[in-house]
Amino acid sequence: MRSDYGAPRFDFFTNPRVVMGLGEFARLPDLVCSMNASLQPAPESCRRVLLVRGGESLQQTPQWRNLLRELNSRGIQLYEQEVSCEPSVELIDGAVEDYREEHIQVVVGIGGGSVMDAAKAIAAMLTVSGSVEDYLEGIGTRQHPGTTLPVVAVPTTAGTGSEATKNSVISKLGRNGYKKSLRHDNFVPDLAILDGELSIACPSGITAACGLDALTQLMEAYTSTKANLLTDALAISGLHQLAWALPVCVESSSPEPAARQAMLYAAYASGVCLANAGLGVVHGMAGVIGGRFDIAHGVVCGALLDAAVRVNINTMQRDPASFEHPINRYRSVGSILCSAAGNRSGTAAAEGDDGLHRLTALLQDWKLRWNPGSLSRFGVGEQDIPGIISASGQKNNPVVLSENDMSDIVHASL
């Protein structure tokens, strides 16, 4: 079969090492020690590890207690930084000030996307002077040289794929708020450990919001104007895993560790894809909305996704000959998701539809059944739409949308 890309050409970034599997979190102490041993100088007396973690739920688990015991038994001096919200300039700058003189050698982030973003930002900022805001894209005036401490990323939710990306999203909430990235190719974590046992206790609402974020990233990367052969392969494999695993994780009353592991793979694949193929209009608007309103990123993506896909498809179908390739990609996504879901939305495909109608119907059905929340629940109103659209970009969306098209997406998501 002839490639869609002719002679393939791309520049690809991902983690040097990924450890995946149920129970693999138990290997973290040995893996951290092996990283420490490679540092020069690294005498036994100064092996220092900063654990960046989420809230108290992780601390109540036997895995956490075992981790602390095993690290202490190896003579590693531990420091802890809690991250209970999306990382802000104040959080990152405060942590850097607290630990700059502690000679930290490895930073380990264990938690959701916010925790891992914070871990990557702290590791990078411990090597330079100034505030993290000085280095943010579109905000700062300084360019980060890419120096960073070694980072281990251990996700406990399946959503952002931050364990595979080269940026940390830093937030400032309010009318003039923002979500901007501290970005460098060197900021991809050195090691990612993906253990589904760590996400079993994740509540269904958070599981749904995170899963819809991963789905958005897989779909946007697959239909991106910067997609390539490798991101295509990862996106398709991630979609196949997510298609069966996400409904199970959200709706099952039993732990379902295999489904949790599949979702961690899907989220990781989405992170690799977004880092290399970019994203689309949902993420172009999600950063603006998330900066102005106190809404979790996954909830924003879940609220926007079905409308954005519908508007993209409708816009491209006005000129189907020019957009045959991305339209066919949406058909492929529809086939994967709807086949696994058994068309649980109960909506039959229209004649000649080839999956497009079923795709948009299934996405709407998931949003309604899992109720990640409409934007209006968080204070977004009609009066906010013009400001959101004027500040939003479209990234690598498969079609350039008009302001009216983008307004329709937000309006349908209120």
CA nearest neighbour of 73 among 40, 29, 105: 29
Helices then strands (H, E): number in the chain? 14, 8
Is there a domain that residue 5 lies in?
no
pLDDT score for 215: 98
Contacts of 83 (CB under 8 A, 6+ apart): 52, 53, 54, 91, 111, 114, 115, 118
Is there a domain that residue 6 lies in?
no
Is there a domain that residue 249 lies in?
yes
Contacts of 270 (CB under 8 A, 6+ apart): 161, 213, 214, 215, 217, 218, 221, 235, 238
pLDDT score for 10: 84
Q: What gap in Å lies between CA 190 and CA 182, rounded to an integer?
A: 17
CA torsion 376→214→181→310, rounded to 10°?
-50
Do 254 and 145 belong together in one domain?
A: no
pLDDT score for 177: 86
pLDDT score for 59: 82
Do 398 and 272 belong together in one domain?
A: yes
Cβ neighbours around 377 below 10 Å, total = 13
Pick the last residue of a domain from 198, 228, 254.
198
Task: Report the domain count for the chain.
Answer: 2
Do 43 and 171 belong together in one domain?
A: yes
Do 226 and 322 belong together in one domain?
A: yes
Is there a domain that residue 176 lies in?
yes
Do 256 and 359 belong together in one domain?
A: yes
Is there a domain that residue 10 lies in?
no
Do 31 and 150 belong together in one domain?
A: yes
Residues in the chain where the model's pLDDT stays below 50: 1, 40-46, 343-352
Is there a domain that residue 310 lies in?
yes
pLDDT score for 253: 87
Do 52 and 191 belong together in one domain?
A: yes
Domain range for 176 = 17-198
Domain CATH for 146:
3.40.50.1970
pLDDT score for 137: 96
CA nearest neighbour of 260 among 282, 236, 281, 241: 241
The C-alpha angle 3, 362, 301, rounded to 5 degrees, equals 80
Is there a domain that residue 394 lies in?
yes
Is there a domain that residue 71 lies in?
yes
Domain CATH for 356:
1.20.1090.10
pLDDT score for 340: 86
Do 210 and 357 belong together in one domain?
A: yes
pTM equals: 0.94
Pick the last residue of a domain from 150, 170, 198.
198
Do 187 and 228 belong together in one domain?
A: no
Do 216 and 160 belong together in one domain?
A: no
pLDDT score for 38: 58
Do 275 and 400 belong together in one domain?
A: yes
Residue position matching structure tokens 């036997």: 62
Pick the last residue of a domain from 198, 228, 261.
198
Do 257 and 340 belong together in one domain?
A: yes
